[in-house]
Structure 1
Amino acid sequence: MFEYKGWITLEFDPYEEDFTKLKEQISLLENTLHTFNTFSQFSTIINCNESYILPLIGVLNHENGILEEMKALLRYIGEILPASYGVVYYRDHEGSSSNNYFIIRLSKGKLEEFADNILSPCFPIIEN
């Protein structure tokens, strides 16, 4: 099984009061997201008082390339909305590191990946 959970705050310029450019880029992103959703994945842009958030949730039987798709999506977000930031936690139950979570961080248009030390190792911290 492959699972991921995360959030991205979508921003074009954190100091800009005019939301025109932000809304244009959000519209572009919405057109891309429709290909990312399936019966085992969820992503939709939420508008909370003109603050846009993208939750990313998925539980799939196998990784099957979704990790690279997700990283490509996050890179795209970093390009069109350069002030966006957030994290995605993921775990591949079938991989060589099945006892660990990993974190992908988007900040200032860059992706970085880290080994998690809060929920990992999964056994014994969150599993018996």
Structure 2
Amino acid sequence: MHEVNLWFCLQEAGDDWEFAEVREKALRIEQLITGFDAHTIKADFRILNGKYYVTLTCFANRPRAHELGIIDSLVSEVVHLLPGSYGLIYERDDERTDFPGHDAFKVTVLARGKLSVRVDPFLSPVSLVVDDEEGMSDGG
């Protein structure tokens, strides 16, 4: 399975910005995600207390070029239009053999207009537990 969970707070860099400019750029991000067409991706744009937020969830059988393109286009536009944005992208592919390995999350951090990949200290490794027959028979 390929799983991606993304959240970004959209904002300009520095203190010298106009609210109207941020709003216009954030609404361009909203238009971009409105055009996404994939049954395995759900993206959302919200304004909360004057701040702009984007979330995206992807859950697919395997990474596909179409879905990866959608995610890449969103990240590229946010970095380009609103370099003061910050947030996280948690990604897991249960068939991954490269970094960070099988059943581990790759974490991409967006801060100050730059993306960096970090080791996940919280969710990795994912260890799924299947009840054995004994646990199933006693209702537990």
Q: Same fold (TM over 0.5)?
A: yes
Give the structure 2 partner of residue 107 of structure 1.
111
Q: How does 1:43-58 map to 2 (within 5 A)?
A: 43-58=43-58
> Percent identity of the aligned residues?
25
Tell me the amino acid that sits aligned with residue 108 of structure 1.
R
Q: Hey, what's the Cα distance between the residues in 2 that align with 1:32 and 1:58?
A: 16
Give the structure 2 partner of residue 7 of structure 1.
7
Q: How does 1:77-96 map to 2 (within 5 A)?
A: 77-96=78-97
Q: How does 1:34-49 map to 2 (within 5 A)?
A: 34-49=34-49
Does residue 1:21 correspond to 2:1, yes or no? no
- Cα shift at 1:16: 5.4
Q: Hey, what's the Cα distance between the residues in 2 that align with 1:117 and 1:49?
A: 30
- Kept in 2, the 8 Å contact 1:100–1:120? The answer is yes
Number of corresponding residues: 125
Relative to 1, partners in 2 of residues 1:117 and 1:99: Cα closer, same or farther, differing over 3 Å? Answer: same
Which of 105, 108, 122 does residue 118 from structure 1 map onto? 122
Who wins on radius of gyration, i.e. which is larger? 2
- Kept in 2, the 8 Å contact 1:89–1:104? The answer is yes
Unaligned runs of 5+ in 2: 130-140
Q: Hey, what's the Cα distance between the residues in 1 that align with 2:118 and 2:36?
A: 23
Q: Hey, what's the Cα distance between the residues in 2 that align with 1:68 and 1:94?
A: 20
TM-score by length of 2: 0.78
Q: How well do the aligned residues superpose, as a CA RMSD in angstroms?
A: 2.0
TM-score by length of 1: 0.84
User: Runs of 4 or more off by more than 3 Å in structure 1?
Assistant: 13-18, 66-69
Q: Hey, what's the Cα distance between the residues in 1 that align with 2:16 and 2:116?
A: 26
- Cα shift at 1:13: 4.1
